[in-house]
Amino acid sequence: MTHLSRRLGSVVLRMLVLSSLAVASGCWIGVPAIGDKGQKCFADNTCLTGLVCHEGQCLTPRTPCLLADPAPDAAGACQKRACDPSTGWESVADSSKDGIACGVRFSSGGTCSGGACFMSIAAGTFTIGSPADEPGRYSDETQHEVTISQGYYMEATDVTQGEWQSLMGNNPSNFKSCGSNCPVEQVSWWDAVAYANALSAKEGLQQCYSFSGCSGTPGDGSYTCTGVTFVGLSCTGYRLPTEAEWEYAARAGTTGGTYTGTSTLTDSTEPNSILDPIAWFGGNSGSTTHPVGQKQPNAWGLYDMLGNAWQWCWDWYWDYPSGSVTDPTGPTTGSGRVDRGGSWDDDARHARAADREDFDPGFRYYFLGFRLVRSR
């Protein structure tokens, strides 16, 4: 079975079992990123050593304190909110959103615009692919050394339905009832790169892609082009990650099947102690996407790198080299663009850092989404 056909079998089966269960709102990540709510504060508003009192709850602060954070204003756009250095929490009028923080966007001070927040990824060298004895691995995951010579910023979550709607004026998603904070899906690779250019244009940044022979409207199923040229990794605007950048960020310095360890289970029929805390996959999703950021992030602050929705990458699918490489961007031609991470629809073997899939760039389906990066 080829890398493409092994995935399409699941597509046909899942067409018959769809449902939508989750709801969300705003531009918020759904997991506290600074502290966890615990016991109530003492009468004098103090807590045990190492904890801080915040609105009656003793909290364990995480570091660093975020200096700015997104919160939806009256129009639904994101705006800065101040962080209280004494507690590590920001002050938000809506207490239901307290402590739900988005991470640093592009600078140590942190800013937010358009609802998306980005984490800083430092340059480094890692081993891409999987060892021969990793459960669920495929033969196209040949291990080799990759150097990422330039740091970049990666979006902390998948692009959401709300972000897509705000910028592009439509919503291609199958799971619309999941809500605006759920990943946008049913987007083609062409849709994704069009979105990246549109966001760059909106923010006055360099557009990373130039297109030829385009027709249709991104997001409505009609959009396609005959050609695309990538400016390169020096581009200062938004773009899709390369396949190497994606796996480097997904691993966040780890070497196992996932960033919390290697699962010995490869299907979705049993409880999975490795995947359940970090990913929505076929074993726990209820056959639907879920709001972004509800699962545990990796060490670099990235949510849903595994599961929820597949993520398009820049590269054409290719056979890995056997030797070390620096800043690979894939071949110049091919038949399928790479997608990574697995989805709500997939078995555990696809929710692995090394798993590779690809589809025709015009293909769109309800398990396909994306997230963006920017070079530093």
Neighbours of 365 (CB within 10 A): 19
Q: Kindly state whether residue 59 falls inside one of the protein's structural domains.
A: no
**What pLDDT does 287 receive?**
96
Q: Kindly state whether residue 272 falls inside one of the protein's structural domains.
A: yes
Q: Kindly state whether residue 106 falls inside one of the protein's structural domains.
A: no
Higher-pLDDT residue of 61, 37: 61
Q: Would you call 3 exposed, middle or buried from its count of C-beta atoms within 10 A (0-12, 13-18, 19+)?
A: middle
pLDDT, tens digit, 9 for 90 and up, residues 123-179: 999 999 999 999 999 999 999 999 999 999 898 899 999 999 999 999 999 999 999
CATH of the domain at 153: 3.90.1580.10
Residue 337 has pLDDT above 90, yes or no: yes
Most confident of 19-28, 286-295, 355-364: 355-364
Higher-pLDDT residue of 185, 28: 185
Q: Which residue has the tokens 């209820």?
A: 286
What band does 368 get if pLDDT is binned at 50, 70 and 90? very high
Q: Kindly state whether residue 46 falls inside one of the protein's structural domains.
A: no
Report the greatest alpha carbon distance in the chain: 69
- Peptide bond before 64: cis, by omega within 30 degrees of 0? yes
What per-residue string of b and e applies to 300-321 under the rule 16 or more CB within 10 Å gives b?
bbbbbbbbbbbbbbbbbbbebe
Cα four-point dihedral sign 167, 169, 171, 176: positive
Q: Kindly state whether residue 34 falls inside one of the protein's structural domains.
A: no
Q: Which of 93-97, 113-117, 187-191, 298-302 has the lowest mean pLDDT?
A: 93-97
Domain span including residue 371: 1-27+116-376
Mean of per-residue pLDDT scores for the chain: 79
Q: Which residue has the tokens 């998306």?
A: 116
d(CA 179, CA 183): 9
Q: Kindly state whether residue 165 falls inside one of the protein's structural domains.
A: yes
d(CA 115, CA 105): 11
Kindly state the tokens that stand for 53: 């009192």
- For the chain, how many structural domains are there in total? 1
**What pLDDT does 51 receive?**
65
What band does 47 get if pLDDT is binned at 50, 70 and 90? confident
Alpha helices, DSSP H, located in the chain? 5-14, 161-168, 189-202, 243-251
Q: Kindly state whether residue 314 falls inside one of the protein's structural domains.
A: yes
- Report which DSSP code applies to 62: -
Q: Kindly state whether residue 225 falls inside one of the protein's structural domains.
A: yes
**What pLDDT does 351 receive?**
97
Residue 83 has pLDDT above 80, yes or no: no
Residue of 310, 356, 334 whose CA lies nearest to 128 = 356
